[in-house]
Copies of this chain bind each other. A is one copy, B any other.
Amino acid sequence: MVIMTTTEAAPAPGQPAGLTRIPPALNAAALEHYAATYGRSVLELDRALAAAPGPDGLIDLTHGDTRAFLPPAAAAADFDDAVTENTEAYTAYRGSAALRAGLAPRLAGLLGRPVDPGAELIITPGTQGGLFAALSALVSPGDVVALPDPEYFMSERILAYLGATAHRLPVSSDSRGLLSIASDALDTAAAAGARLLVLSHPNNPTGGVYDPAAARALAGFVTGHDMLAVVDQLYCRLIFDGADYVHLSAQPGMAERTVTLAGPSKTESMSGYRVGAAVGPAPVIDAMERVLSLAALRTAGYGQQVLRHWMDGDAAWLADRTAAHQALRDELVGRLRAIPGVTVAPPAGSSYVFPDVSGAPGGGPDDHAVAVALKAAGVLVSPGYQFGPAGRGRFRINFSQDAGRLALACDRIEAVLRG
């Protein structure tokens, strides 16, 4: 199943023979099967976009701007204290015991389930580090894993790296941005042998929140088939319009079979510290710690301590940050909808929108080509292919930006899409 051609090259004369020999697992992560639609693997598409020309003053909308939305002041203070105290340079691989003890009640409050700080919690190098550790702890070669379409761009790559196959679940969105997955799609996944469900919630890249009934149906699907679940809740604190957000691990029978990933990289703009947390059943947290010990020993000892005051009495701060993002969302969705041929569901959470520009005069179904054209016009976006087959003709924008720069980016996007 591993196609070696795209990333293998014959060594140059005199070059060591082993230099261009890519291990099969790493090669699989290139996602060669996207060549059937796009003519190139996902790795090649990414490299082509990175190499495509862009002007000075390129506006990067692939991630949030941590200068437009600053981290809480406590983060830097907690880090400095950790350096000064200098007692936690070497922690348990799963993270500082004192930190976990302080954090567990706040995570329990967030997730609506008990969290044992010793057995059920691990500090990870960002939420990506938690995702890699969780999947590496749970997935064996040949496994089939249920994955929404679209879904976070790294999930399918990691599954392919681990020798597993992603069984995609089409996601539907209603007019309020509330998501659901059809029950026959779930049944098909179960029949295909899926014993693990991996999903982001809110969904990355759409920002959609699962409708409460749909979320409960997902939990019922997992428990009913004796499956496990990995739920990336990186954006679960940034929810708009008071939408009803259902925590999957708090549903009946789910706590003992769900790994929940969380972290301060997005809502709190603390991505530069590269810290996250995962809550799950003790045997899985044990296995995740074994993975993390191999990959990096531990999350940076000083860096872990920026979680000391994460989610600690910050309701007013969170309300302000949410309102600011909701205003940006409304402005952006309005701008996008004014472009002929563009459709977009308003995200119920996160700082992402995922418009469909396939019908725009300057858009079309080839989202890679659209992203290259947008880059030439001064805007960098995340093209739809990165998130799965459902990304065809779409791109993702992270609107956690300065309002003026986002407006300028919208001008450029509109100019391209109007053709």
Q: Which residues of A contact B (CB under 8 A)?
A: 15-26, 29, 43, 63, 66-67, 70, 76, 79-80, 82-83, 86-90, 125-126, 128-129, 132, 136-141, 154, 157-158, 161-162, 195-196, 226-228, 256-257, 269, 271-275, 281, 283-284, 287, 290-291, 293-303
Q: Which residue of B lies closest to A254 (CB)?
A: B16
A29, B271: Cβ atoms under 8 Å? no
Q: Which residue of B lies closest to A256 (CB)?
A: B16
Counted per complex, copies of this chain come to 2
Alpha-carbon distance between A272 and B302 when the two chains are bound, in angstroms: 5
What B residues does A293 contact at CB under 8 A?
154
Closest 6 CB pairs of A and B: A89-B272, A274-B300, A272-B301, A272-B302, A125-B296, A16-B257
B228, A19: Cβ atoms under 8 Å? yes
B126, A23: Cβ atoms under 8 Å? no
B301, A157: Cβ atoms under 8 Å? no
B290, A29: Cβ atoms under 8 Å? yes
Given A18-B196, A228-B19, A272-B86, answer yes or no on A132-B66 (Cβ-Cβ < 8 Å): no
9 residue pairs from A and B, CB less than 8 Å apart: A16-B227, A18-B138, A19-B228, A22-B137, A90-B271, A128-B297, A154-B293, A274-B301, A295-B295
A274, B287: Cβ atoms under 8 Å? no
Q: Which residue of B lies closest to A162 (CB)?
A: B23
CB distance from A145 to the nearest CB of B (A): 11
Alpha-carbon distance between A162 and B23 when the two chains are bound, in angstroms: 10
Q: Which residue of B lies closest to A291 (CB)?
A: B26
What B residues does A226 contact at CB under 8 A?
16-18
* Residue of A23, A29, A125, A161 ringed by the most chain B CB atoms within 10 A: A23
A298, B274: Cβ atoms under 8 Å? yes
Alpha-carbon distance between A17 and B283 when the two chains are bound, in angstroms: 12
B296, A274: Cβ atoms under 8 Å? yes
What B residues does A23 contact at CB under 8 A?
136-141, 162
CB distance from A344 to the nearest CB of B (A): 24
Partner of A271, one of B128, B137, B274, B301: B301
Given A88-B272, A89-B271, A303-B274, answer yes or no on A294-B140 (Cβ-Cβ < 8 Å): no
Alpha-carbon distance between A268 and B120 when the two chains are bound, in angstroms: 34
What B residues does A66 contact at CB under 8 A?
86, 89-90
A16, B158: Cβ atoms under 8 Å? no
What B residues does A132 contact at CB under 8 A?
294-296
Alpha-carbon distance between A269 and B83 when the two chains are bound, in angstroms: 12
Given A79-B79, A281-B19, answer yes or no on A272-B300 (Cβ-Cβ < 8 Å): yes
B63, A86: Cβ atoms under 8 Å? no
Given A16-B226, A17-B226, A272-B88, answer yes or no on A26-B300 (Cβ-Cβ < 8 Å): no
Q: Which residue of B lies closest to A88 (CB)?
A: B272
B128, A43: Cβ atoms under 8 Å? no
